[in-house]
Chains A and B, each alone.
Chain A
Amino acid sequence: MKELKIQPIKDGTVIDHITPGKALTVLKILGTTGEEGDSVISVAINVSGKSGKKDIVKIENRELDPKEVDKIALVAPNATINIIRNYEVAEKHRVSVPDEIIGIVECSNPNCISNTNEPVETKFIVKSRHPLRIRCYYCEREPEDIPSHIR
């Protein structure tokens, strides 16, 4: 727990090694605003770590499903998910981009059907992970700057 460098939590989830400055975007992608429950959420931005700066997010008393968390890999490809039980890291895994990204990224094509008032969520197929390339399921356009299209 010492390597987390911020105050330990008893139970919950610690997302570590987030790309510096991206912690709030990570929370946004996870749909965690604090309004939806009474978990205590702490955010540390630009913390000095062993390999430069990083952000950290701690969510107390809530274990995030690693699959659900994988989508943060879009903005924080090196993030790790630590499930904490009784102050110990019970599970640890590194995020990886899922095969399909639903409802997080907006299509960069203004004429795409997913950018109209139709009742669909955006959907992207991941073509490659290194480098990250995704393709709109509907119009097949590939957004170049993916983080700027995260809503």
Chain B
Amino acid sequence: MNFKGRDVISIKDFSKEEILHVLDVAEKMLPIAEGRKKSEMLRGSIMSSLFFEPSTRTRLSFEAAMKRLGGDVIGFARPGTTSIQKGETMADTIRTAESYCDVIVMRHPHEGSARMAAEFATVPIINGGDGAGHHPTQCLLDLFTIQREKGSIEGNRVALLGDLKYGRTVHSLSYALSLFGVDMVFIAPPELQMPHEVVEECEELGAHISTATTLEGLEDIDVLYVTRIQKERFPDPEEYNRVAGIYRIDAHTLSEAKEGMIVMHPLPRVNEISPDVDRTPHAAYFRQAFNGVPVRMALLSLVLGATA
């Protein structure tokens, strides 16, 4: 399996075998990601970190990943101080940046931007989120978290809860979980249900899907993936408060859960998971956030053709 020179734009560009390979490499990166082992694997390589839209978590974990492997990082955290503000096109920024580096990590507010950047760049592009489009490294770290926490991806029953209509994270994740034949329950208020196309695609891939509007049957769930319900989606603030209240998870909600059930969240959370869940063994979201580092290390080493 050769990843050298490859772009990472969408999870749909990966086969199940390729996903498993990335997760295998991520597993090997764990001691380095935790700082227990030093590595010079990417010494002499430069990553451009181009954040046309700020995202602290994604940027920091990419930069940590590159530096843990002995590589260097250049770039910007927001477009404010750059020539972009003077009206430079993204295409020009990409063509300039690529002459300084070996790999580009980018985040951009417009859908399709990473795909377009890949047409202009000869170095690999890793998509760190393109508007409401894709965020493949989030999806891979979610899968990695499930594999680490539960021993495997297959054989779990996964509930996705919250804003399933606009949440790109859950669209990619449900697609990827379908490749593994995972059973899923989509739980959302009627106005924020999973789009038809996504459900159909999952079913075509062989996933068994059920939908619900309230969190029931928690005792059969292995993974509860919670997403934020955004206030902007509701014209009426009272309606938002009502809906957000129904989907809020606290320690009491979890009293019926299986012993090994994990709660995941892409973070940042607002109030959809109560802090009292943090102290339960179910809380996996901080470990999930850490997993972004080994997964991004794996991708950087793979697309740069480095071997451990």
Contacts and interface: CB of A to CB of B under 8 A. Distances in A.
B89 A136 contact: no
B115 A137 contact: yes
A118 B116 CA distance: 9
B54 interface: no
A109 B116 contact: no
A136 B131 CA distance: 15
Contact of B91 (A120, A137, A140): A120
Name the residue among B91, B109, B133 with the largest chain A CB count within 10 angstroms.
B133
Contacts of A139: 110-112, 131, 133
Contacts of B131: 111, 139
B14 to A, nearest CB: 15
Nearest to A138: B112
A137 to B, nearest CB: 7
B132 A111 contact: yes
Contacts of B132: 111
Contact of B116 (A117, A138, A140, A141): A138
A117 B89 CA distance: 7
A63 B61 CA distance: 58
A82 interface: no
B127 to A, nearest CB: 12
B115 A119 contact: no
Contacts of B119: 120
Interface string A25-51: 000000000000000000000000000
Interface string B55-92: 00000000000000000000000000000000001110
Contacts of A118: 89-91, 116
Mostly, the A contact residues are loop
A30 B113 CA distance: 29
Interface string A118-129: 111000000000
A114 interface: yes
A102 interface: no
Contact of A116 (B110, B130, B133): B110
Contacts of B133: 139-140
A113 interface: yes
Nearest to B109: A111
Contacts of A138: 111-113, 115-116
Interface string B95-113: 0000000000000111111
Interface of A: 109, 111-114, 116-120, 136-141
15 contacts: A111-B132, A112-B110, A113-B90, A113-B111, A113-B112, A113-B113, A113-B116, A113-B130, A118-B91, A119-B91, A138-B116, A139-B110, A139-B112, A139-B131, A140-B133
Interface of B: 89-91, 108-113, 115-116, 119, 130-133
Given A138-B112, A139-B110, 18 more contacts: A111-B109, A111-B110, A111-B111, A111-B132, A112-B112, A113-B90, A113-B108, A113-B111, A113-B115, A113-B130, A114-B112, A116-B90, A117-B89, A120-B91, A120-B116, A138-B115, A139-B131, A140-B133
Top 9 nearest A-B pairs (CB, nearest first) are: A138-B112, A139-B111, A139-B112, A113-B112, A113-B110, A113-B113, A113-B116, A138-B115, A118-B89
